[in-house]
Amino acid sequence: MAGANAKTWLIVGASRGIGHEFATQLLNRGDKVFVTVRKPGIEHDVAYWTDAKAEPSHFAQKLLKAGIPVGTIVFISSDSGSVSAFREHEDGFAAYGASKAALNVMARHMAAELKRKGSRTTILMLHPGEVRTDMAKIEDLDWEVEGQMEPQESVAACIETVESKGPDDSGTFWTWRNEPYPW
């Protein structure tokens, strides 16, 4: 049960991997957590899980337009979405990298618009590191993914990074190590 000092979190996309681990860690520390999952299963049998299909950027925009006060919105990005730190060895990642670069630009625009409107909402992009999830099990790569960590390690560090940020950081891109990442 959420305590008096508990924070409230919404995680869009918590069926598995990093999103699921975020929900698990936040619930375990006593925070109030709402999530969306594609297909709820036995592992999602928690009071705060909801069955919904939502694309994160559209969900965030609708939430903000509804006038609901929101402290921080975090989009999970990737080092593959950085244009200035282009990773030319990542054969087969063109579509993924392009989608993360587009996510980053969308989030920067959202942050700039909110700042102009006087909002204190913080918009962050976050690279969680190379994480061992189902998504990372890619066969036939011509290059090695180095430094993979377990979701528990990545998410614990990501939560610390997110909680260290405020409105002055809105529109910025960070790593799980709490280091700024180049666009």
Residue 128: both structure tokens together: 């969680």
Q: Specify whether the CB–CB gap between 33 and 42 falls below 8 A.
A: no
Tell me, what's the pLDDT at 126?
A: 92
Tell me, what's the pLDDT at 46?
A: 56
Tell me, what's the pLDDT at 98?
A: 86
Q: Specify whether the CB–CB gap between 177 and 50 falls below 8 A.
A: no
What is the per-residue pLDDT across 108-148, written as a single tens digit (0 to 9) for each?
999 999 999 999 999 999 999 887 666 555 666 555 666 67
**Is 32 a residue whose pLDDT tops 60?**
yes
User: What is the total count of domains within the chain?
Assistant: 2
Whether residue 92 sits in one domain with residue 40: no
The values of phi and psi at residue 95, to 5°, are -65, -40
Does some domain include residue 13? yes
Whether residue 122 sits in one domain with residue 49: no
Tell me, what's the pLDDT at 158?
A: 95
> Looking at residue 154, which CATH number applies to its domain?
3.40.50.720
**Is 13 a residue whose pLDDT tops 70?**
yes
The values of phi and psi at residue 33, to 5°, are -130, 130
Q: Quickly count: other Cβ atoms within 10 Å of residue 105's Cβ.
A: 14
Give, in degrees to the nearest 5, the angle at Cα 152 between 27 and 63. 50
Whether residue 15 sits in one domain with residue 79: no
Whether residue 74 sits in one domain with residue 100: yes
Does some domain include residue 62? no
- Its pTM stands at 0.82
Tell me, what's the pLDDT at 91?
A: 61
What is the per-residue pLDDT across 49-97, written as a single tens digit (0 to 9) for each?
555 556 777 778 887 888 878 899 898 888 877 778 766 766 667 788 8
Does some domain include residue 18? yes
**Is 21 a residue whose pLDDT tops 80?**
yes
Whether residue 144 sits in one domain with residue 84: yes
- CA-based diameter of the chain, in Å? 51
Residues 6+ apart with CB under 8 A from 49: 14, 23, 35, 37, 40
Does some domain include residue 89? yes
Whether residue 73 sits in one domain with residue 129: yes
- Distance of alpha carbon 22 from alpha carbon 142, whole angstroms: 31
**Is 14 a residue whose pLDDT tops 70?**
yes
Instruction: Write out the residue range of the structural domain in which residue 16 sits.
Output: 1-54
Whether residue 156 sits in one domain with residue 100: yes
Whether residue 48 sits in one domain with residue 85: no
- Distance of alpha carbon 112 from alpha carbon 73, whole angstroms: 13
Does some domain include residue 63? no
Whether residue 39 sits in one domain with residue 113: no
Q: Specify whether the CB–CB gap between 92 and 148 falls below 8 A.
A: no
Whether residue 80 sits in one domain with residue 4: no
